[in-house]
Amino acid sequence: MSKKGSPVPVTHIPKSEYARRRKALMAQMEPNSIAILPAAAVAIRNRDVEHVYRQDSDFQYLSGFPEPEAVIALIPGRQHGEYVLFCRERNPERELWDGLRAGQEGAVRDYGADDAFPIADIDDILPGLIEGRDRVYTAMGSHPEFDRHLMDWINVIRSKANLGSQPPNEFVALDHLLHDMRLYKSAAEVKVMRHAAQISARAHVRAMQACRAGLHEFSLEAELDYEFRKGGAKMPAYGSIVAAGRNSCILHYQQNDAVLRDGDLVLIDAGCEIDCYASDITRTFPVSGTFSPEQKAIYELVLKSQEAAFAAIGPGKHWNQAHEATVQVITEGLVQLGLLQGNVDELIATEAHRAFYMHRAGHWLGMDVHDVGEYRVGGEWRVLEPGMTLTVEPGIYISPDNPHVAKKWRGIGVRIEDDVVVTRTGCEILTGDVPKTVAEIEALMAQARTEAA
Ligand code: GLY
Ligand code: MN
Ligand code: MN
């Protein structure tokens, strides 16, 4: 942690890595082809107000270029440079209102473009760059407006066919190559993700320390946001969930406006984003600082299932083994607690756990919180390899209205979520800085209350 007043250390992806990624993608492209990707558009929130700008993850992955109204063209073998970037021109008046722009000079100098053109000239220039190439790699379907522009550019080439213009014959989905690359994190990516995880861990600790009955869920959200911004994160990686009492049983709860009451649990699922890399942490703790016996029983069962999942993650193990481990432990535990009745193997075969544990144990994590990458290859679960990053997030949610369980269990919702990277021998937990056992959580909360008294 940086000392009071000292600058926050900034972790980011080095320029050389973006160059390496572009080269790696171009090396996988068929001969005589071009890849074209648009930047994310600015999204209007209402009238003159815009949403905070977030670059498209694929565009960011290949360029690190943070501006809207830009297009990347990668043209392996092009004599005047393989990496062409179209972007906004410098404009002193617009920059006075909206902030600095890299311009074409900045695109080359600061972002490694071999050649840069004004975005306003793209209709005149890009058809000429596409012409004569056999294949166009593009993310078809994700940017409908850009797809229409692309067809316009292709039609420009077609309209000149009688003059000898050669339109491309094939369109290839870029996602397949790019998303497989994104699945394997480099050392620099893991470093950025570890940094995001550490900031998010501090945010969860701060929320636990600040928790008191009578506050609202949004009071704890404010504690999270404070640590995110203080750590240098521009924004959360997704809408924070702060769910107290019965709200903890709503999986994507985001209202965050209920009052915290003694006797209830509060489930917080929140993580920040650093340099477009996500973290994703869930902790569940008692508003009062002390778990009730039923809350503790459910909590420790979820924790045990998470530990079983960690043991099932490593090179050579397949994607679903972690999930299967959580289902085994949770089903056994629910039978022991009397929440499920029957033979464990039969209950697993019929997926009886889904009444209480209705999601999967995790997802790929990276530039997108639910990151890209296939979970199956050739119909089989993907085998884990070093550098893959994923979440491990089992949960048990007992609906407040479930008539089939004793009243004492109702309204208890627990999820515990950590982020891991697959290593050569198993996995490294990136989010280990937040207390997790019942004893650790109760001790942290008790200490915060003593200090405040
Ligand atoms: N926060 C979204 C998730 O855990 O998947
Ligand atoms: Mn989450
Ligand atoms: Mn998650």
**Distance between CA 422 and CA 143 in Å, rounded?**
32
**H-state helical runs in 217-265:** 217-230
pLDDT in the model for residue 85: 98
Calculate how far, in angstroms, residue 416's C-alpha sits from the geometric centre of ligand 2. Answer: 9
Calculate how far, in angstroms, residue 425's C-alpha sits from the geometric centre of ligand 3. Answer: 23
**Distance between CA 374 and CA 369 in Å, rounded?**
15
Task: Please tell me if the CB atom of residue 393 comes closer than 6 angstroms to any atom of ligand 1.
Answer: yes
Helices (H) and strands (E) in the chain, counts: 13, 21
pLDDT in the model for residue 62: 98
Task: Please tell me if the CB atom of residue 364 comes closer than 6 angstroms to any atom of ligand 1.
Answer: no
| Phi, psi angle pair for 48, to nearest 5° | -85, 5
Strands 115-118 and 83-87: parallel
The helix or strand, by DSSP H or E, that contains position 344, with its residue range, turns out to be helix 344-349
Contact 126, 86 (CB under 8 A): yes
Mean pLDDT within 228-239:
96
Task: Please tell me if the CB atom of residue 269 comes closer than 6 angstroms to any atom of ligand 1.
Answer: yes
| DSSP label at residue 399 | -
Task: Please tell me if the CB atom of residue 371 comes closer than 6 angstroms to any atom of ligand 1.
Answer: no
Cα–Cα nearest to 275, from 181, 198, 366: 366
**Tens digits of per-residue pLDDT, 395-446?**
999 999 999 999 999 999 999 999 999 999 999 999 999 999 999 999 999 9
**H-state helical runs in 115-143:** 122-130
Contact 35, 74 (CB under 8 A): yes
Report residue 257 as tokens.
């406006």
Task: Write down all domains in the chain, each with its CATH number in brackets.
Answer: 15-181 (3.40.350.10), 184-452 (3.90.230.10)
Confidence of residue 6 (pLDDT cuts 50, 70, 90): low
**Distance between CA 273 and CA 307 in Å, rounded?**
26
Calculate how far, in angstroms, residue 75's C-alpha sits from the geometric centre of ligand 1. Answer: 37
The helix or strand, by DSSP H or E, that contains position 418, with its residue range, turns out to be strand 418-422
Calculate how far, in angstroms, residue 282's C-alpha sits from the geometric centre of ligand 3. Answer: 8
Active site residues: 48, 252, 269, 280, 359, 363, 370, 393, 397, 415, 417
pLDDT in the model for residue 7: 65
Task: Please tell me if the CB atom of residue 392 comes closer than 6 angstroms to any atom of ligand 1.
Answer: no
Percent of the chain with pLDDT over 90: 94
